[in-house]
Amino acid sequence: MLRTWGLASFVASVLGVLGVLAVGCGRLSEDELLEGKSCASDSDCVGGYVCDRAANLCVRGVAVPGENILTGAAGSDSTDGSGGSGSTGAGGTDGIPEGSGGDSGSAGASTWSAPDVCEDTCTGDRLCLGSQCVPRWLPIAAAPTELGARSKPAFAVGNGKLFVWGGVDGAGVDLSSGAIYDLAQDRWELTTITAETPSPRTLANVAWTGAGFLVWGGRLNSGESDYRSGAVYDPATGVWTPMPTAGNPRVASLLLSYDGQVLSWGGWNKAGAVLERSQRFNAGTNKWLSSTDDPLGKREHVAWATLGARLYILGGRSSTGTLLSDGFVYDMSTASWSSIQSLPAGRYGSFTAQDGSGLFSWGGRDLDAVHDDGLVMNGSLWTSINVEAGPSARWAPHHQSGWSCALAGERVAITGGHDVTGLPQLDGGVYSRIENTWSPLPASSEAHEWGVGACIDGTLVLWGGTHDGTASASGERITP
């Protein structure tokens, strides 16, 4: 969908300032010659001016990626943005202006447009996107050298702090080191490594129990072994306390923590096979309990969210590849499952959040396509949401990419994910349930594939993972 971002307002402002004093021998300047000049095509305008076909007036052209006014020939990879045989800056929908370089593009529209109309009003940590001042991504403090670049770590939030542990480094070495990031202080503190620290592993499970971080399960990155063992880390003392082994090894399971208990559902085994049912750990008794009434069966890439004592699970893909549309809720206070209204159609990998006003589900994919629409639950019923100005079609492969954050004011932020070809997406959007509108979220500086994506008191924090195939130790944050 093309977006003009207030083009009419810009044209009016340009026409109000185009008059320039005559120079030399009374000759009119180029601006004066073109002031108010009508046009039907670009050939009617010269000297860097283009024809705004909505107003049929010549305006000075400024290139902005993503906007489409002029048409041009197919472009090719370039360093000066000249495109293929089209006019300057032409290059298909991926065209970029002179001096910026350009990607290849098919024949069609180039990207000439009016400049953003909010450029002079956005300051500090605000960025001008189209006609809106929106938050920008800010770097977080550099992680300690001992933490190091890595992907597939375990992570969880407790007491407003982010716990990151394990994973695999760029050389393929499984890790048992970790650190805790304090957002309020913008500071890292390394976790201890003792005889009781869990062995090196990737995609382990971790949850905040109310007193410590429970770390267990996971596998070697090679897939040779998976684990039932683990330990609880006390951030106040730096002490690791071994926990009893779980009934089954699990990799990257879904976790619900409430009142000293942790539910672990689904996930994979070491070979990537989909698991079913759940296990529940009671930190007070230091015991595991198995689920007896789990109705979900084997499914992966589910949409899921937690709030208080409840874990919400929607759709997904069965272990045999069947699309699923049903929904369920697990209530820790009653240790039971119940069903909720199914999605209109089977879908997996949707972005999901529960903000206290109801569930939000957006995007995801089926067997053939990736979607750019969504639903909110009002009471017990699903209602379609406005898609105008929403993020591009994408889905969130479990634990790999795609993050959701419930915000104050009945808003939800999403970022990341993959398009239908598997290409990581770096931007996102913020949806307002009250206004039923989207506002843009700018692109993060890295993809953070298989990295950390955590919501801390309304701030989204991304760290580590890989970018263009290289392991990273960089992090960034945004507060929509």
pLDDT of residue 152: 98
Residue 405 in this model has a pLDDT that exceeds 80: yes
Domains of the chain, by residue range, sit at: 1-60, 67-115, 138-478
Percent of the chain with pLDDT over 70: 75
Q: Does domain 138-478 have CATH number 3.20.20.10?
A: no
How confident is residue 67, by pLDDT bands cut at 50, 70 and 90? very low
pLDDT of residue 226: 97
How confident is residue 75, by pLDDT bands cut at 50, 70 and 90? very low
pLDDT of residue 55: 64
What angle is formed at CA 456 by the lines to CA 354 and CA 254, rounded to 5 degrees?
55
Query: Is the whole-model pTM more than 0.85?
Result: no
Could you report the per-residue pLDDT of 199-250, keeping only the tens digit for each?
Answer: 999 999 999 999 999 999 999 999 999 999 999 999 999 999 999 999 899 9
Output 181 or 61, whichever has higher pLDDT. Answer: 181
Output 105 or 296, whichever has higher pLDDT. Answer: 296
pLDDT of residue 127: 86
Residue 291 in this model has a pLDDT that exceeds 70: yes
How confident is residue 361, by pLDDT bands cut at 50, 70 and 90? very high
Could you report the per-residue pLDDT of 327-349, keeping only the tens digit for each?
Answer: 999 999 999 999 999 999 999 99
